[in-house]
């Protein structure tokens, strides 16, 4: 059972021997620091190194291999390179919106990790509305994107931002509705409970017990969730907001140096958050045999990352109108059908 009794911040304040308000504050801050750094380290691997290696593997190339073992020190050189570049502020940008946006985007995604159970007692907070919180904060990124698009004083940025908002509205609803079908099973929005329910055995085949991961219970919902998730994080076939060959780089066209890094960071953390939500809702969270829970959690979100890069390498991009058609006429209908069917089935069985 992975049902959390204590959260990470409580564990920390307990270890430090603090209690009361001071304990909450110190535990929360140190815990948040740890969790954020875990995610940032993973992003550091994903962005400059893993992404290159993965896309290279799909395209029969080798990619970075000069600096360090397997080219791993590229991460360091890339960090130095990106941060030492000049921050170009174009004429006529709308400050401070233009400056705030690159901070909004990564931090909204980081906030989502506060409620994700990562196994081995790493969960920052476990509110009753955990799932709703994760979706809510992840959506703040859209606000950041609108700010980038509007403030950049660039037409490509504006088109990109409008596309991003259109995409978000069209795909956020199916995403949340599909997640709601999981809530019907669990009867709770609390993340730890969603994970706990999935630990129960579904069937036993030849001595191997298959747990009730909702990906097994309702594969249709899982597929829907993955598709909507791809749209949510803007990867092929849904990379409409960036669409490099059409609108240059979309909403991030005018950003350079540290701001560019922040926006990119936001994108990768978003991918990981998407992976974390998929893992928590459908793949039993940190559950898995032999290895510690946290390792399984990392494996699952990296698998999701791999999936997004695979899609990016192999699947063509949809046109913006086709993309919205699929969202409103396909995904929305299917996700509601899924919700109603799940409700009926659960109602009949229970």
Residue with Cβ nearer another protein (175 or 320) = 320
Residue 85 C-beta: closest distance to another protein, Å: 18
Name residues contacting another protein, limited to 8-47 (CB under 8 A).
none
Tell me whether residue 86 or residue 321 sits nearer to another protein (CB atom). 321
Closest CA to 45 of 344, 298, 326: 298
The token pair that represents 340 in the structure block:
């109603």
> Which of 248, 258, 299, 341 contacts another protein by CB under 8 A?
248
Distance CA 140, CA 138 (A): 5
| Angle (nearest 5°) at CA 179 between 174 and 180 | 95
Stretch that binds another protein, among 85-93, 99-107, 152-160, 209-217 (CB under 8 A): 152-160
Tell me how long the chain is. 350
Listed ranges 119-127, 233-241, 299-307, 336-344: which one lies at the site for another protein (CB under 8 A): 233-241
By CB under 8 A, residue 243 contacts another protein: yes
71 phi-psi bin (left φ>0, alpha ψ -120 to 50, beta other): left
Please report, as residue ranges, which positions from 159 to 178 form the binding site for another protein (by CB under 8 A).
Answer: 159
User: CA–CA separation, 177 vs 338, rounded Å?
Assistant: 9
By CB under 8 A, residue 155 contacts another protein: yes
Torsion of CA 170, 175, 176, 179, to 10 degrees: 160
**Residue 55 contacts another protein per CB under 8 A:** yes
Task: Select the residue interacting with another protein from 246, 257, 332, 341 (CB under 8 A).
Answer: 246
The contact mask relative to another protein for 57-96 (x = CB under 8 A, - = no) is -xxxx-----------------------------------
Measured CA to CA in angstroms, residue 263 lies from 35, 98, 109, 330 at distances of: 19, 12, 11, 30
Cα separation, 79 vs 11, whole angstroms: 33
Contacting residues toward another protein, per CB under 8 A: 55, 58-61, 155-156, 159, 236-237, 239, 242-248, 312-322
């Amino acid at each position: 059972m992975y049902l959390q009794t204590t959260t990470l911040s409580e564990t920390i304040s307990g270890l430090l021997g603090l209690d009361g308000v001071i304990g909450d504050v110190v535990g929360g801050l140190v815990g948040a620091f740890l969790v954020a750094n875990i995610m940032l380290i993973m992003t550091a691997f994903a962005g400059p190194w893993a992404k290159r290696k993965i896309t290279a593997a799909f395209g029969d190339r080798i990619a970075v291999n000069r600096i360090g073992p397997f080219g791993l020190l590229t991460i360091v050189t890339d960090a130095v390179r990106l941060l030492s570049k000049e921050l170009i502020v174009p004429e006529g940008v709308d400050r401070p919106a233009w400056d705030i946006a690159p901070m909004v985007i990564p931090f909204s995604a980081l906030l989502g990790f506060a409620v994700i159970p990562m196994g081995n007692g790493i969960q920052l907070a476990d509110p009753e509305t955990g799932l709703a919180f994760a979706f809510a904060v992840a959506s703040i990124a859209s606000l950041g994107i609108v700010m980038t698009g509007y403030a950049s004083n660039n037409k490509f940025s504006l088109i990109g931002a409008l596309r991003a908002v259109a995409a978000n509205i069209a795909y956020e609803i199916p995403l949340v509705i599909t997640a709601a079908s999981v809530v019907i099973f669990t009867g709770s929005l609390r993340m730890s409970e969603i994970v706990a329910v999935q630990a129960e055995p579904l069937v036993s085949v030849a001595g191997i017990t298959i747990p009730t991961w909702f990906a097994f219970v309702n594969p249709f919902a899982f597929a829907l969730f993955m598709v909507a998730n791809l749209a949510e994080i803007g990867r092929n076939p849904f990379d409409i907001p960036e669409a490099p060959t059409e609108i240059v780089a979309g909403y991030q066209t005018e950003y350079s140096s540290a701001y560019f890094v922040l926006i990119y960071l936001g994108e990768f953390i978003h991918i990981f958050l998407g992976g974390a939500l998929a893992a928590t809702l459908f793949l039993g969270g940190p559950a898995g045999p032999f290895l510690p829970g946290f390792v399984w959690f990392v494996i699952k979100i990296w698998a999701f990352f791999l999936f997004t890069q695979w899609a990016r390498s192999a699947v063509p991009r949809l046109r913006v109108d086709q993309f919205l058609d699929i969202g409103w006429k396909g995904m929305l209908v299917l996700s509601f059908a899924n919700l109603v069917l799940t409700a009926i089935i659960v109602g009949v069985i229970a």
